Amino acid sequence: MVELRGGPEGRPVSAGRWRGGRPPGVLRALAVFAAVRAVGVVLVALTDLHGGHPATRTLTHAWDAVWYLHIAEHGYGAREYLSSFGTVQTDYAFFPLFPLLARGADAVLPGGAGPAALLVAWAAALAAAWGVYAVGHRLYGTATATFLVVLWALLPQAVVLTLAYSESLFAALAAWALYALLRRNWLLAGALAALAGLTRPTGLAVAAAVVVTAGRELVRRRGRGAGPWCAVLLAPAGWLGYVLWVGARTGDLLHGYFTVQDAWKSGLDFGASSLRFLRVLFLYGGKVVYPVSVLLVAAAVVLFCLLCLERSPRTALPLLVFSGVLVLMVLLLGGPFASKPRFVLPAFPLLVPVARTMARGWLRSRARVLVVTGALACLALPYGVWVAAVVKTPL
């Protein structure tokens, strides 16, 4: 019988040092995570084979994956696309760390850029799950941490963790940056935030968590201490460095990157495009993926409100800032609405209220928790495969 300890309220069993350098129960949680995502990989591959395509077509060439692989193979400035909006979309819209790692893996491994990118994405997904567990265990104990990982693996949009996308790498860097903040390891938190800023535009959410947490520490110390200052300076460096580099390459240092994003309709529009989308969806309807995307984004907003109401330790401030800024960016930035659930996927702290509820329920009725978890798997896994491999909607 599996025992998930952590107290009825999800409090940590012990604040002591982990034995063997890892939190208790993490291997079990990682095994469940790997099993869930492996099922997702198999289902995607079988769907492609059933459609007469190579088994790895969706895994390595779904939407943004094509751009990442092209950057890994040919560098920047080598691919353009004339969109349906009449704008010229370029590869400068994609941040460099994921394709750079894929290129490095491709240089030492056989098989080409596609398998190399998948290896990077899958390894990063495991690292992310470990980081999610580490954060959950430190704040709430083994049971909540386990359910946090399981719920995160079972999100409908978690299918992107098994594709050649940058979300898994970003989630790993974000999770471990948050854990470093909980440990008050300022230099590591700042460095990881900088790397997150080189991975996705939403790296600003990680930087915000570091800056706010370090700023609070500086106020408490009255400005003394090199560590928090280093974190404040390092955290936004990756995002800012890439934005300025794109500006220099395009001939407009301060606005070049934002011009690139405007061509993708992904700039800051304060939610105007989302409101237009909701109006059209309400008046004329649309594919199933659109109302489901609305529900997933709305659920993220509701879960953030619940997270704010949690009686969490004071050290949970980084989780609130990261999740809040990420959800706010998803709401205020443009882009295909069907992609927004993917953008909010790295905000795993949003699942804390549900994970704590399931941890308490585990003590009362394990059968009920298992039924709920199984039902979620039966709904989320096929939906994720359908969106990734069947629906012709931007993922």
Torsion of CA 159, 160, 162, 165, to 10 degrees: 170
Residue 365 is predicted with a pLDDT of 85
> Residue 20 is which amino acid?
G
Lowest mean pLDDT among 7-16, 194-203, 215-224: 7-16
Cα–Cα distance between 353 and 309 in angstroms, integer?
Answer: 9
Lowest-confidence range among 123-132, 266-275, 352-361? 266-275
pLDDT-derived band at 395 (thresholds 50, 70, 90) equals: confident
pLDDT value at position 16?
Answer: 42
Contacts of 193 (CB under 8 A, 6+ apart): 173, 177, 203, 206, 207, 209, 210, 231, 234, 235, 236, 238
For residue 105, the model assigns a pLDDT of 96
Q: Give residue 326's region: left, alpha or beta (phi > 0; psi -120 to 50).
A: alpha
At 222 the pLDDT is 81
> In whole angstroms, what is the distance from residue 381 CA to residue 124 CA?
20
User: What CA–CA distance (Å, rounded) separates 36 from 262?
Assistant: 37
Q: Is 77 left (phi over 0), alpha (psi -120 to 50) or beta?
A: left
Give the pLDDT of residue 12.
Answer: 45
pLDDT at 124: 98
Going by C-alpha positions, the residue among 389, 43, 192, 252 that lies closest to residue 261 is 252
Give the span between the Cα atoms of 376 and 394, in whole angstroms: 23
With vertex at residue 361, the alpha carbon angle to CA 358 and CA 363, rounded to the nearest 5 degrees, is 125
Distance CA 203, CA 145 (A): 24
Distance, in Å, from the CA atom of 166 to the CA atom of 64, rounded to the nearest integer, reads: 9
User: What is the average pLDDT across 214-242?
Assistant: 93
Q: What is the pTM of this model?
A: 0.93
Residue 19, pLDDT > 50, answer yes
Nearest to 85 by CA among 308, 261, 234, 233: 261
Which residue would you say has higher pLDDT here, 386 or 13? Answer: 386
Does 163 score more than 60 pLDDT? yes
**Which pLDDT score, from 0 to 100, does residue 18 have?**
59
pLDDT reported for residue 14: 42
